[in-house]
Amino acid sequence: MATKITIHSPATVANMVCGFDVLGFAVHQPYDIMQLEFIDEPGIVIVNTDAYNLPTDPTQNVAGAALLALMEAYEQPVGFKMTIQKQIKPGSGVGSSAASSAGAVFAANVLLDHPFSKEDLVRFAMNGEKLASGVKHADNIAPCIYGGVTLIRSVFPLDIVKLTVPDLFVSIVHPQIEVRTADARSILKQQIQLKDAIKQWGNIAGLVAGLQQGDYDLIGRSLEDVLIEPTRSILIPAFEQVKQVSKQLGALGGGISGSGPSIFMLSTNEYTAKAVELAMGQIYAAIGLSYHTYVTTINTDGIQTIDLS
């Protein structure tokens, strides 16, 4: 029986423009590096090897909260030391809390010889998301664990559908500001007009159908959000310019990644994706705002085991 595991837990893009809280996908870059090993005493010891100074109290750390939920369900005393090297900046909008939460329960499940299903792991990891944002949402957690693009048909009860994914390239820009998920949720409208809801439902259905059929034109037409983006985009400098220029360069479309401030764009080829990345950087450089960019692809596997010993 293995006693130590090292994993890569990937960044994720939630909402996928029109699919607020119900759609998300995993990417290959960036990712967190996490190591979990058994210790003799029951409980959790957390060691951070990055510069983010996140809590080491398991009840105040998203990975700890998720792991505590798993340990309670396991019903046998067990102890873990968890070492976390975050490469996904907290507050970046690409699933930093989800990577930690999902990575912790995935690793524990492997060491415990897989007593829990993927659905169970999502349920445990949602405790970390609740700690981070106040809400048990799964649109980052599910693709992190299942890989690819996932549809959260229901949270209570949990019902996750992994979708077929055509070849797509992803350009991401992270302007170096922080948008807290809880804050981004607090500004959303609590009531919407029926005509807007109907338009949004059509876009979600069109996006799912486009992904399943590999219909790039349908995907592009469906990457429209009439409910969330108009409100949240005011928190992100140069958002409309990034989106407009990216589409002019040939991107299918895109929008806010999760609650922001990161912005993602989907393209059908690497050449376009890199041109979009370059333009994103130029826009933020012109306004004097620091940024990070990535060109990556959709990660159909999710969390990866790197070493098991």
Q: How far apart are CA 268 and CA 168, in angstroms?
A: 5
Predicted structure pTM score? 0.95
Q: What confidence score (pLDDT) does residue 179 get?
A: 77
Q: Is the dihedral of CA 201, 204, 209, 210 positive or negative?
A: positive
Residue spans of alpha helices (H) in 38-153: 62-74, 96-111, 118-133, 141-146
Q: What confidence score (pLDDT) does residue 249 get?
A: 98
- DSSP lists the bridge partners of residue 151 as 23, 161
**CATH of the domain spanning 169-297, picked from 3.40.640.10, 3.30.70.890, 3.40.50.150, 3.40.1390.10:** 3.30.70.890
Q: What confidence score (pLDDT) does residue 180 get?
A: 74
Q: What is the DSSP letter of 164?
A: P
Q: Collect all residues with Cβ–Cβ distance below 8 Å to 16 and sequence separation of at least 6.
A: 23, 24, 25, 149, 207, 223
Q: Collect all residues with Cβ–Cβ distance below 8 Å to 198 and sequence separation of at least 6.
A: none
Cα 8–Cα 246–Cα 237 angle in degrees, nearest 5: 80
Q: What is the third-level CATH fold of 4-163+299-308? A: Ribosomal Protein S5; domain 2 (3.30.230)
Residue 272 CB-half CA count within 13 A: 18
Tokens of 123: 């349920």
SS3 296: strand
Name the region of 14 (left: φ>0; alpha: ψ -120 to 50; beta: rest): beta
Where along the chain do the CATH 3.30.70.890 domains lie? 169-297
Q: What is the mean pLDDT of each run of 10 residues along the chain (309 residues)?
A: 96 97 97 98 97 96 98 96 96 95 98 98 97 93 98 96 96 90 76 95 98 98 96 94 98 96 98 98 97 97 97
Cα 22–Cα 292–Cα 182 angle in degrees, nearest 5: 40
Catalytic residues: 129, 181
Q: What confidence score (pLDDT) does residue 148 get?
A: 98
Where along the chain do the CATH 3.30.230.10 domains lie? 4-163+299-308
Q: What confidence score (pLDDT) does residue 184 get?
A: 72
Q: How far apart are CA 185 and CA 122, in angstroms?
A: 21
Q: How far apart are CA 33 and CA 10, in angstroms?
A: 9
Q: What confidence score (pLDDT) does residue 276 get?
A: 98
